[in-house]
Amino acid sequence: FILNTIMPKRSSKNDVLVIGLAVMGANLARNVARRGYRVAVYNRSVEKTDELLALLAEKETSDPERTNITGFPDLKEAIASLAEPKKVILMVKAGETVDKVSAQVLPLLKAGDILVDGGNSHFADTERRVKSADPVLFVGCGISGGELGALNGPSIMPGGRTEAWTSLQDMLEAIAARPEMKADDADVPCVSWVGDGGAGHFVKMVHNGIEYGDMQLIAEATAILTHAGVSNIADIFDTYNKGVLSSYLIQITSEILRHEDYPKVLDTAGQKGTGRWTAVAALEQGMPLTLIGEAVFARCLSAMKDERVRAAEVYAGPKAPAAPDNLVKLVEDAMFASKIISYAQGFVLMRAAAKEHKWDLDYAAIARMWRGGCIIRSTFLNDITRVFAAKPDLENLILDETFFAPALRSASAGWRALAAYAVTAGIPIPAISSALAYFDGYRIAAGSASMIQAQRDYFGAHTYERVDKPRGEFFHTNWTGLGGNISSSTYNV
């Protein structure tokens, strides 16, 4: 262990301990140190600690990363070095590892000390840990932005024991990103207390689900443009990035398209599970999170590469129609309208979960902290922030007449034309088409579900409500004349 050879011994207490020195943990520790806080670091395998300290030894002796970080080979010594209330941040793999490390740390803390899980934990696990850690204050903290975000300023979504916020606020605000997309309040840090229990990790989970959706929309857009033989797609995305689609993901898409290695990338997309968690949560809440769900399923389908190759030998695609002259604009309209639907669905899911878990979520604050540092940062989030600040109880973003409803009306014709072209050409567009289906389903006062409910009453006597009677009154019809008038109990899952 090389601590004593490159780091000066200090008598003053450390402000925080970071446990777990893979790239995210090491970079977060450096970020905290650069803001003037004294940081203790510990890793189960000493080699990771040595790697970080060796890196810091190459910096100037006055560099705050070098002077403010102290490595420890022993966990008890690391925790003993902390000022009170002791603050410990876990940057370890989500799941069982968090529980194992927490079990080592909690006996070394006392009431009022703070244990933060900065990984991608499932919100239900965080709910459990908040309760089991008591009287230690447990915080589940979503951190988005990848390794560069951790180093330079991520989007941070903390939730759990509210009492911990007063001790964490200054530090988390110091290390958080600032909005990058032409925000009026550019100095506001991209962090805010989210809520009790697993609220922070739930919001991070929805963020990741929206990320899946954004990426799928971009993938479909590039597929359409490529299929149509458009040659300057990178330049087109540069143009998109100057308009309503301005975002980090649009920006990096143009960079990827210009890279010589992009044509070598196999069309199979991996996933770590947070998008799937979001889709499952939507099913549990009974919320139609259709675009994100299709984005998850699209990754699952992409993984079936060998089967798809065999299917391509069985089925020839349709003869491609001529691409519309305004295809580039149609793609922009379809991406933007679908993006609105995706975010609207995500916020509806958070509202439903907040009601069930009794979280007091601030939707303007959530949009505000996604404007910098994180993967989904975009100019678009300024509009969401503004709308929810003015109308915190708005039930769905697409009902907002100040921005989103006019935007959807403006993009609607292009959205439909693009979907029609893609379907006719045999180009799969699960995200764009599911968003359009949701929009049409939502905006129609009388839909097709009357047939479903009549069928349910026919074969299962599940009853139905009537258009000429008040809501909440249920009726049964003896459709065949043989089933009698006895109905089953009425319930909705």
- Which residues partner with 378 through β-bridges? 247
Residue type, 420: A
Neighbours of 488 (CB within 10 A): 12
Q: Is 14 annotated as a binding residue?
A: no
Q: Is 44 annotated as a binding residue?
A: yes
Q: Is 45 annotated as a binding residue?
A: yes
Q: Please, are residues 373 and 149 in contact by the beta-carbon 8 Å criterion?
A: yes
Q: Please, are residues 434 and 294 in contact by the beta-carbon 8 Å criterion?
A: yes
Q: Is 48 annotated as a binding residue?
A: no
Q: Is 144 annotated as a binding residue?
A: yes
Q: Please, are residues 338 and 431 in contact by the beta-carbon 8 Å criterion?
A: yes
User: What distance in Å separates the CA atoms of residue 259 and residue 261, rounded to the nearest whole number?
Assistant: 5
Q: Is 31 annotated as a binding residue?
A: no
Q: Is 181 annotated as a binding residue?
A: no
Q: Is 92 annotated as a binding residue?
A: yes
Cα 258 to chain centroid, rounded: 27
Q: Is 24 annotated as a binding residue?
A: yes
- Would residue 147 show up in a list of annotated catalytic residues for this protein? no
Q: Is 350 annotated as a binding residue?
A: no
Q: Is 299 annotated as a binding residue?
A: yes
Which of 378, 423, 353, 95 has its CA nearest to residue 210?
Answer: 378
Mapping DSSP onto H, E and C, the string for the chain reads CCHHHHCCCCCCCECEEEECCCHHHHHHHHHHHHCCCCEEEECCCHHHHHHHHHHHHCCCCCCHHHHHEEECCCHHHHHHCECCCCEEEECCCCCHHHHHHHHHHHHHCCCCCEEEECCCCCHHHHHHHHHHHCCCEEEEEEEECHHHHHHHCCEEEEEECHHHHHHHHHHHHHHCCCCCCCCCCCCCCCECCCEECCHHHHHHHHHHHHHHHHHHHHHHHHHHHHHCCCCCHHHHHHHHCCCCCCEHHHHHHHHHHHCCCHHHCCCCCCCCCHHHHHHHHHHHHCCCCHHHHHHHHHHHHHCCHHHHHHHHHHCCCCCCCCCCCCHHHHHHHHHHHHHHHHHHHHHHHHHHHHHHHCCCCCHHHHHHHCCCCCCCCECHHHHHHHHHHHCCCCCCHHHCCCCHHHHHHHHHHHHHHHHHHHHHHCCCCHHHHHHHHHHHHHHCCCCCHHHHHHHHHHHHCCCECCCCCCCCCCECCCCCCCCCCCCCCCCCC
Q: Is 120 annotated as a binding residue?
A: yes
Q: Is 441 annotated as a binding residue?
A: no
Q: Is 368 annotated as a binding residue?
A: no
Q: Is 34 annotated as a binding residue?
A: no
65, 127, 180, 211: which is the annotated catalytic residue? Answer: 211
Q: Is 21 annotated as a binding residue?
A: yes
Q: Is 94 annotated as a binding residue?
A: yes
180, 204, 294, 332: which is the annotated catalytic residue? Answer: 204
Q: Is 118 annotated as a binding residue?
A: no
Q: Is 208 annotated as a binding residue?
A: yes
Q: Is 209 annotated as a binding residue?
A: no
- Would residue 465 show up in a list of annotated catalytic residues for this protein? no
Q: Is 25 annotated as a binding residue?
A: yes
Q: Is 309 annotated as a binding residue?
A: no
Q: Is 22 annotated as a binding residue?
A: yes
**Binding site per annotation, positions for NADP(+):** 20-25, 43-45, 92-94, 120
In the annotated binding site, the residues are 20-25, 43-45, 92-94, 120, 144-146, 207-208, 212, 272, 299, 456, 462
Please give the positions annotated as active site.
Answer: 204, 211
Residue ranges for the known binding site for substrate are 120, 144-146, 207-208, 212, 272, 299, 456, 462
